[in-house]
Amino acid sequence: MTKKLILFVLSIIILSSMLFSYPFRAWNHNLNPALFDYRSRFFLELGLSTDLVLNQNLFSFWNEFEKIREDSVYVINIPELHTKLDGNDFNLSLFNQTPAHLLLDLGIIRLGVYGNVDIDAKFSVPNDLFSLLAYGNVDGEGNVIDFEGTKNQKLNVDFEAGVYGSLRFNKISLGVKYGLKLPILVSDKDASYSYELLTSDPEVNAKVEVNIPVYSTFHIDDLEYIDQEMILEQIDLAAHLLHVGFVYGEKRNTPNWGFAVNNINLRPALLLWEYVINKEFEFTSDNLLDDLINSEEEENVQEFDEDFYNINPISKEYNYPLKASAFITIPFLLNWTPYVEAIFSENIDINYGVVAEGRLIFLPFYLGVENKNDIWHSSLGFRLNLHLAEIYAGIGLSNENFFNQLDVNGLSLKINLAAGF
């Protein structure tokens, strides 16, 4: 209850100090390409940005830092970790976008080029393992418990580069991006590992079967270092994507509402290589925790399959999921800008949030409350604009539960740089 109250009070204090809110700018072009027209430099602009989100649901970064600072010995308490998970699996996710753009204003016509690197990764460890390590294999009634299940994993890395063009008539902008997108790494939708923890007093028989197919346009020997020349060699394999956006704005740098359709597949990408991590492990122990920590022998572990992964040449088409988005600015004491984005993959995923930018004395600042990839983000940042150069830096908290963000389980960092005239 205290955390909820603190989060609510902080939001009210920040929002009540806002004046003149213009939250969406060129850096949001992945949501709507026409937002490229809404920037502080009206002739030429060079921009670079990074947006990083790291989230997990086990450790509080702040509490762990305090433990390390105060104690010379760091102690891991397994029952305490199991309690923190509250019946959930341990989930770790990483999301990063690094876009760049160069824009030129020629009156009613605006032109530009852009590039973007996306990383989206998720990893999960079953709660059953923590339960077994913390309390053993017997429930409160003395019954022996067996554990089994399947956990999906995800790893996607993409690079996109393309051109931008728009027409601006009075208060209306119609923007189009045409991009070539290379799938550097794409995990299969069924990438997962299954596990069985079969117990009998006093032994534990564990079996883990890993089956994680990952696809790429690059050979595995080239993935360690991908340079510009290698990307150009593979550009014929890239997906051809069209992004179309419409924005209405009463002022030159103030979008009022807009909508967009992104990832219109004109031609799919072609994947040439399949890397299948296919491994099976068996483990037997009569003291599982002690063996995991102290064992230096491998005689109790049986492994099947000679190679940890298999490399297979393939020829597989890959289509990026279609996206549709919309936003509107609502003036009420300040300008609130809610947005929504629908992603049409196997299921329809929805990202949404409310963002705003205000002015604290002379310094503009940004506030955002958003839900992306089923993770809540609350961020606060400041922007310094000298016209010829502009910098925005923001930090934030993230959590799968909105009211648990003050637990500091997840952190985000966003930096935008721009220069021009």
For residues 283 and 206, the answer to whether their CB atoms sit within 8 Å is yes
Q: Sorting pLDDT into bands at 50, 70 and 90, what band is 20?
A: very low
Give CA–CA dist 420/103, Å, rounded: 9
> Is a pLDDT exceeding 80 seen at residue 298?
no
pLDDT in tens, 369-396: 999 988 998 988 888 888 889 898 999 9
Peptide bond into 202 cis (omega under 30): yes
Residue bearing the bigger pLDDT, 320 or 67 = 320
pLDDT in tens, 237-259: 999 999 999 999 876 667 889 99
> Is a pLDDT exceeding 90 seen at residue 103?
yes
> Is a pLDDT exceeding 60 seen at residue 360?
yes
> Is a pLDDT exceeding 60 seen at residue 14?
no
Which of 102-111, 127-136, 155-164 is predicted most confidently? 155-164
Which strand (E) or helix (H) includes residue 382?
Answer: strand 375-385
Residue 2 is predicted with a pLDDT of: 60
Rounded to 5, what percent of the chain is helix, strand, coil? Answer: 20, 55, 25
> Is a pLDDT exceeding 80 seen at residue 299?
no
Q: Sorting pLDDT into bands at 50, 70 and 90, what band is 290?
A: low
Distance of CA 219 to the CA centre of its chain: 25
Q: Sorting pLDDT into bands at 50, 70 and 90, what band is 145?
A: confident
pLDDT in tens, 41-74: 878 999 999 999 999 988 887 777 777 777 666 6
Q: Sorting pLDDT into bands at 50, 70 and 90, what band is 305?
A: very low
User: Average pLDDT, whole number, for the chain?
Assistant: 83
Q: Sorting pLDDT into bands at 50, 70 and 90, what band is 203?
A: low
Residue 359 is predicted with a pLDDT of: 73
Helices (H), 199-329: 228-233, 288-294
Of 205, 249, 238, residue with least CA distance to 25: 249
> Is a pLDDT exceeding 90 seen at residue 329?
no
Sequential DSSP letters for 205-265: EEEEEEEEEEEESS-GGGTT---HHHHHHTGGGSEEEEEEEEEE-SBTTB--EEEEEEEEE
Give CA–CA dist 260/187, Å, rounded: 27
Has this prediction a pTM greater than 0.85?
A: no
Of 86, 17, 6, residue with least CA distance to 356: 17
For residues 316 and 271, the answer to whether their CB atoms sit within 8 Å is yes
